[in-house]
C-alpha cells in the first residue's frame, strides 16, 4: 500500500476527532464558499470529510430554498425554477455538472473500458456530454416549474441533500475504477459504508417531514437511480470515478424533483 493510501486509512475515523477540519474540507470541495483557513491541510481530511457530504448538501438546499422563497411573490414558477437550477449549479461551482458531461462522453461511447476512462479524463466536452447536461437540466426545469410554492421549497431542500447522499452511497458499494491515485480515490476509506448509513438516515429523517407517502416515493427514486447507475458503471468501467460520482449526484437531483411531482399528483 502506498504512503498516501495509509494516510487515508489513518485519517478515515477522524470525522469525530477533528470535526471542524473535516467539515471545512468537505465545504471547500463541494461549494465555492471562500473559506481559506487552514485549507492547506484539506488533503489529510478528505476521507474523513465524506460523512459531512449530506450535511453540506442540506446546507446548500436550505440556502437555495431561502433565496428562492424571497422571490416567490415576484416571479412565476418557470422563472423560479430557472433561478433555482442556476443557484444549485453556482453554489457547487458546476462541479457535478462537469462530472456529468465527462461521464456522458465516456459511458455513452461504444468504446472499451480503458478508452472510456481516457475520454472521461479529457477536459473537452463532446456531443454526448452536452446531451447529458441538456437532458438533466431540462428534467429539473420541467419538474420544478410544475410545483406549487410550498412543494418547490421542500424540493429544493431535499434535492442537493439526496444528490450528496447518492455520492456517498455509490462510494460505499463501488470500488474506484482507475488504477493508481486520483482525486476521487482520496475520499475512499474503510468508513465509507458507515458514512452511507448516516447519509441515508439523515435523508430519511428530513423526508419524514413531508409525510410517509412522499418520503417513500422519493426514497425509491433515489435508491433506483443509484442502483441502476452503479450497475451501469460497474458493467462499463468496473467501478466509480470522480466524474461518475458527480453524474450520480446530478441524476439523483433530477429524479428527486420528478418524484416530488409524482407525489403531488397522486395525493
Q: What is the pLDDT along the chain (267 residues), one digit of tens a residue?
A: 444 444 444 444 555 566 788 888 889 889 998 877 677 766 677 778 888 999 999 999 999 999 999 999 999 999 999 999 999 999 999 999 999 999 999 999 888 999 999 999 888 889 999 999 999 999 999 999 999 999 999 999 999 999 999 999 999 889 988 876 666 677 777 778 888 999 999 999 999 888 888 899 999 999 999 999 999 999 999 999 989 999 999 999 999 999 999 856 554
**DSSP symbols for 127-194:** HHHHHHHHHHHHHHHHHHTTS-HHHHHHHHHHHHHHHHHHHHHHHHHS-B-SSS--TGGGG--TTHHH
Element (DSSP H or E) covering residue 240? none
For residues 230 and 238, give the distance between their C-alpha atoms in angstroms, rounded to a whole number: 10
Q: What is the pLDDT of residue 160?
A: 97
Q: What is the pLDDT of residue 26?
A: 87
Q: What is the pLDDT of residue 190?
A: 74
- Per the document, the length of the chain is 267
Range of the domain at 240: 3-265
* Contact assessment for residue 26 and residue 52, using Cβ atoms and an 8 Å cutoff: yes
Q: What is the pLDDT of residue 25?
A: 86
* Contact assessment for residue 172 and residue 138, using Cβ atoms and an 8 Å cutoff: no
How far from 32 is each of 42, 168, 185, CA to CA, in Å? 15, 20, 21
Any idea what the Cα angle at residue 251 is, between residues 246 and 252, rounded to 5°?
100
In the chain, what is the straight-line distance between the N-terminal and C-terminal CA atoms, in Å?
A: 54
For residues 134 and 145, give the distance between their C-alpha atoms in angstroms, rounded to a whole number: 16
Q: What is the pLDDT of residue 11?
A: 41
Q: How many domains does the chain have?
A: 1
For residues 172 and 158, give the distance between their C-alpha atoms in angstroms, rounded to a whole number: 21
**Gyration radius (Cα) of the chain, Å:** 18
Provide the β-strand partners of residue 176.
240
Burial classification of residue 161, based on how many CB atoms lie within 10 Å of its CB (0-12 exposed, 13-18 middle, 19 or more buried): buried
**DSSP symbols for 21-54:** HHHHHHHHHHS-----TTGGGHHHHHHHHGGGHH
Burial classification of residue 94, based on how many CB atoms lie within 10 Å of its CB (0-12 exposed, 13-18 middle, 19 or more buried): middle
Q: What is the pLDDT of residue 205?
A: 93
User: What does the longest C-alpha to C-alpha distance in the chain come to?
Assistant: 58
Amino acid at each position: 500500500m502506498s504512503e498516501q493510501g495509509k494516510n487515508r486509512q489513518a485519517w478515515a475515523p477522524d470525522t469525530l476527532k477533528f470535526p471542524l477540519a473535516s467539515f471545512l474540507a468537505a465545504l471547500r470541495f463541494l461549494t465555492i464558499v471562500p473559506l481559506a483557513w487552514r485549507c492547506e491541510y484539506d488533503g489529510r481530511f478528505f476521507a474523513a470529510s465524506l460523512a459531512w457530504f449530506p450535511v453540506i448538501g442540506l446546507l446548500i438546499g436550505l440556502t437555495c430554498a431561502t433565496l428562492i422563497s424571497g422571490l416567490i411573490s415576484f416571479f412565476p414558477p418557470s422563472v423560479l425554477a430557472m433561478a433555482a437550477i442556476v443557484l444549485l449549479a453556482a453554489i457547487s461551482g458546476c462541479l457535478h455538472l462537469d462530472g456529468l458531461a465527462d461521464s456522458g462522453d465516456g459511458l455513452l461511447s461504444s468504446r472499451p473500458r480503458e478508452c472510456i476512462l481516457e475520454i472521461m479524463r479529457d477536459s473537452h466536452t463532446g456531443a454526448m456530454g452536452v446531451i447529458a447536461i441538456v437532458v438533466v437540466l431540462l428534467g429539473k426545469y420541467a419538474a420544478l416549474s410544475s410545483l406549487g410554492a410550498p412543494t418547490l421549497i421542500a424540493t429544493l431542500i431535499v434535492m442537493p441533500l439526496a444528490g450528496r447522499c447518492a455520492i456517498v452511497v455509490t462510494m460505499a458499494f463501488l470500488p474506484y475504477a482507475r488504477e493508481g491515485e486520483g482525486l476521487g480515490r482520496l475520499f475512499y476509506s474503510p468508513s465509507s459504508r458507515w458514512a452511507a448509513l448516516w447519509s441515508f438516515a439523515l435523508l430519511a429523517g428530513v423526508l419524514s417531514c413531508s409525510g410517509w407517502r412522499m418520503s417513500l416515493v422519493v426514497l425509491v427514486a433515489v435508491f433506483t437511480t443509484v442502483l441502476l447507475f452503479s450497475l451501469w458503471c460497474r458493467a462499463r468501467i468496473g467501478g466509480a470515478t470522480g466524474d461518475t460520482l458527480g453524474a450520480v449526484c446530478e441524476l439523483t437531483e433530477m429524479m428527486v424533483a420528478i418524484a416530488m411531482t409524482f407525489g403531488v399528483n397522486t395525493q
